[in-house]
Structure 1
Amino acid sequence: MLIEGEMVNRIRIGLSGWGDHDDLYEEGTKAADKLKAYTRHFPIIEMDNSFYAIPAPERMEKWSEQTPDDFGFIVKAYQGMTGHSRGKNPYANAKEMFEFFKQSVNVLMEQNKLKTVLFQYPPWFDCQRKHVEILKRTREWMAGFPVALEFRNQSWFTAEYKDKTLQFMQEEGWIHSIADEPEAGIGSVPVVLEPTQEYATMIRLHGRNASGWHSSGESNWREVRYLYRYSTEELKEWMENLFTLLQKTKECWLIFNNNSGGDAANNAKQLMELLGQDTGPVPIRQMEWE
């Protein structure tokens, strides 16, 4: 059994996106310079802008150039690939869409900076045969690329299907993306501390704002759903969860997505401090007020 100190070196903590965490950056930091500045604080990031539009390979190359050689990208799958799209799809068909996406993320993979492609499915994507077939097809089309899978429907983890779901993910080569989110009915999932691949497990902390979780019909739903600040006790709970996971998996990638109120970066630094990790520099504007 590994001691906790050895495990700490196998934990990578980061945030979702790099544009909305102004507390990290010195005042006046330009948007084009934020990713480079971000890398001074965290070793990994979830690229969320790829969900809204597939980045051109040239743009991926520019982003990669702003990061150190050992930096890691988790790239969120384009919304058309997970059934989130509304309106006309800009691609001729699904296969073409996947091909464009793979050309994009291949830039990062060739440079050993791609940790995984994250497929997060919507709440209506429940546990039934046709959706299992979609997952099989998706894995086939993403052959050669590491992929992570996150559900938003409880049916995948009911007593009847939980073990089958985890076995399926293991056999098909899906990294389990464990979600920490409020227990808010069928459109949310419980914390399931089970890795499905030995080389890595992913964790995404969305906050526990139960009252705001189902506000997607509102124009400001993003400002409500992820409005949550984890307490020190909750972070210590996750520290122990990480040590539990690392008994069965080589690395853990933990992403804070609770940024509606700007809490993600602060919570991430808190957890890093609890783990004894380097928390990076303090922005000049923060130092001036201390």
Structure 2
Amino acid sequence: MRIYVGVCGFKKKYYTGKIRCVEIQRTFYNIPQVKTVRKWREEAPSDFIFNIKVFQGLTHVASSPTWRRYTKKLSAKEKGLVGNLKVNELTKTWIDTYAEFSRILDARVLVVQTPAKFAPTQENVNHAEKFFEYFVDVIDKYGSNAWIGWEPRGKWLEKPQLIEKIVGNVDRVIHIVDPLIHEPIVVESVAYFRLHGKPYLNYKYLYEKEDLETILDKVKKLCKKADTVYLMFNNVYMDKNAEELIEMIR
């Protein structure tokens, strides 16, 4: 098992530091230009690992506060098309764009984080099944080797059978969790974890040495089938905690 430790954030200083694995967050709020994405890959060391958080237009409805950071403006028609993993004329263009980004960056995982308001209704189950099947097909079309990681929140965490139904039936889709809080329903050859602090989503939490040891121990037990594991810190002290865990693994 190969474990990569990284952060949910991207700074070019990482190119020369201990942290060699990132999840780009700015791609969630806005869609960068292709030339910008190419520049990230060209400037990075060849062994530097990129993961991408997909655009909020695929996951979050127009009323979500996350849209306040969107630098453009949705039309009235577009507002009815975004979010909830819907596949339509608008979201298909974004899926194409992010499949291309994943190819350019040689991204390992495309992170799809759905909000708690995306409830486990039958309609949303149908949306999710169609969305992930379509996204994987598009990724293949673009020649990308990326996996898709889904981090559902809210009531989904009480419905493991629904997560298994969706993730288990589509190749190259994995279930993302915070390993100190939840366990992945399905573990494939690739596993991806996001660490949000304790208690759950307490981003100001600083992980202590004992926490890091627990994380490693738990992940090794959960991921016996996995060849590759990504541990991504998403807390205020993510740089410090990632560097500490990297040293522990060495």
**TM category, shorter:** 0.7 to 0.9
| Partner Cα distance (2:96, 2:120) in 1 | 27
Hey, what does 1:281 align to over in structure 2? none
Hey, what does 2:32 align to over in structure 1? 55
Hey, what does 1:162 align to over in structure 2? 160
Hey, what does 1:203 align to over in structure 2? 193
Hey, what does 2:118 align to over in structure 1? 125
Could you tell me which amino acid in structure 1 is paired with residue 15 of structure 2? T
Distance 1:13 1:85, change over 3 A: farther
Hey, what does 1:39 align to over in structure 2? 15
Using structure 2 for the length normalisation, give the TM-score: 0.80
Count of residues paired in the alignment: 223
Checking the alignment, whether the CA contact within 8 Å between 1:202 and 1:254 is kept in structure 2 is: yes
* 1:148 and 2:139 are equivalent in the alignment: no
Identity %: 24
Q: Secondary structure at the match of 1:140?
A: helix
Could you tell me which amino acid in structure 2 is paired with residue 272 of structure 1? I
Distance 1:248 1:141, change over 3 A: same
TM-superposition CA deviations, 1:122-167 (whole Å, max 9, x none): 01122221111111221133124321100111x3233xx3244224
Unpaired segments ≥5 residues, structure 1: 1-6, 19-33, 182-189, 214-224, 277-290
Using structure 1 for the length normalisation, give the TM-score: 0.69
| Partner Cα distance (2:209, 2:119) in 1 | 34
| Partner Cα distance (2:174, 2:129) in 1 | 14
| Partner Cα distance (1:147, 1:102) in 2 | 14
* 1:179 and 2:178 are equivalent in the alignment: yes
Q: CA deviation at 1:110?
A: 4.7
Unpaired segments ≥5 residues, structure 2: 68-72, 82-87, 140-146
* 1:89 and 2:74 are equivalent in the alignment: yes
Q: Secondary structure at the match of 1:75?
A: strand
| Partner Cα distance (2:161, 2:95) in 1 | 31
Q: CA deviation at 1:104?
A: 4.4
Hey, what does 1:78 align to over in structure 2? 55
Hey, what does 2:4 align to over in structure 1? 12
Hey, what does 2:239 align to over in structure 1? 265
Could you tell me which amino acid in structure 1 is paired with residue 152 of structure 2? F
Structure of larger gyration radius: 1
